[in-house]
Amino acid sequence: MEPTTTAMIVDVLTKAIARHRLRPGAKLAEQKLADHFGVSRTLVRQALFQLSQNRLVTLSPARGAFVSSPSAEEARHVFTVRGMLEIEMTRAFVRTATPAHIQALREHVASERAAASGTDVAGRTELLGDFHVQMAELMGNPVLAQVLRELISRCALATIMYQSHDAALDSAAEHLELVEAFEQGNVTEAVKLMREHLENVESSLDLDRPPPSSDLTLALRDALAD
C-alpha cells in the first residue's frame, strides 16, 4: 500500500478548502498534486472524484479540476428555497411523527454533536445537512429527500468554508430543540424553531469573506501543518 492514500489526499484538500487556504475556482492540477504527495496521478484522480461527489470540486473533461465556486447569491437563493420547502415539511412531519422517528432523530443529533466537537469539518457539515434529509426520509417521501439533498449539496461548500466550529455546535443544539418540539407535537413551535434555525445557519456564514490563497503548494503545506 502506498503511504499516502486517497483518503488522506481527500482529507488534506478538504482542510485546505475549509480553512480558507484554497479559494473557489483554484485549479487542482493532477500532476502538481501527485508531485506534492509523492503518489501516482491515479490516486489523485480518485481523490478528486470523491471531492466532486461532495460538491467541493468541479471536474471538467477539457479543463481539469477546480475548487467549486458557489456564489454568495447562489447560497442565499438555496436558503430561500430550503425555507419554502422545510417549513411545510416541518408541519407535515410533526403531524405524522412516531416515537421511532423521534428516536432516530435523537440518535442523529447525538452523532452531530460528537462530530461538531471534533475536527472533521466535512463530516460535521454532512451530518448537519442530513438531519433535514432524514426528516423527509422518515416521512416516506423520497422525492422530497432527494430535492433537499441536492439543495444542501449546493450550499455544502459555502457551509464548510464559512461556518465556524461554534456555529456548527449551535446548529446541533437547534436540531435538538426541534426534536423536542416534534416529540411534543407542537406544530407552531416546531415551525418557529425551523425558521429561526435556517435563518441562523445562513446568517452564520460569512459569505462576504475575502478570497483565500490560490497558491496550491502553500495551501496544502499549511493544511498539513494544522
Q: What's the pLDDT tens digit per position in 62-118? A: 899 998 877 778 888 888 999 999 999 999 999 999 999 999 999 999 999 988 887
- Span 149-160, pLDDT tens digits: 878 877 777 776
CATH number for 72-203: choose from 3.40.630.30, 1.20.120.530, 1.20.950.20, 3.40.190.10.
Answer: 1.20.120.530
Residues 6 and 16: beta-carbon distance below 8 Å:
no
Residue type, 144: L
Per DSSP bridges, beta strands 57-60 and 64-67 are antiparallel
Q: List the domain boundaries for the chain.
A: 6-69+209-225, 72-203
Q: Which residue has the cell 424553531?
A: 193
What pLDDT, on the 0 to 100 scale, is given for residue 31?
95
- Span 134-150, pLDDT tens digits: 999 999 999 999 889 87
Give yes or no on whether 6-69+209-225 and 72-203 have one common fold. Answer: no
C-alpha torsion sign, points 20, 23, 24, 28: negative
Q: Is the pLDDT of residue 193 over 50?
A: yes
CA distance 132 to 125: 12
65 pairs with which residues across the strands? 59
Q: What is the mean pLDDT of the chain?
A: 85
Phi–psi pair at 166, nearest 5 degrees:
-65, -40
SS (H, E, C) the chain: CCCCCHHHHHHHHHHHHHCCCCCCCCECCHHHHHHHHCCCHHHHHHHHHHHHHCCCEEEECCCEEEECCCCHHHHHHHHHHHHHHHHHHHHHHHHHCCHHHHHHHHHHHHHHHHHHCCCCHHHHHHHHHHHHHHHHHHCCCHHHHHHHHHHHHHCHHHHHHHCCHHHHHHHHHHHHHHHHHHHHCCHHHHHHHHHHHHHHHHHCCCCCCCCCCCCHHHHHHHHHHC
- The CATH class that applies to domain 6-69+209-225 reads mainly alpha
pTM for the whole thing? 0.70
CA distance 113 to 89: 23
What pLDDT, on the 0 to 100 scale, is given for residue 225?
56
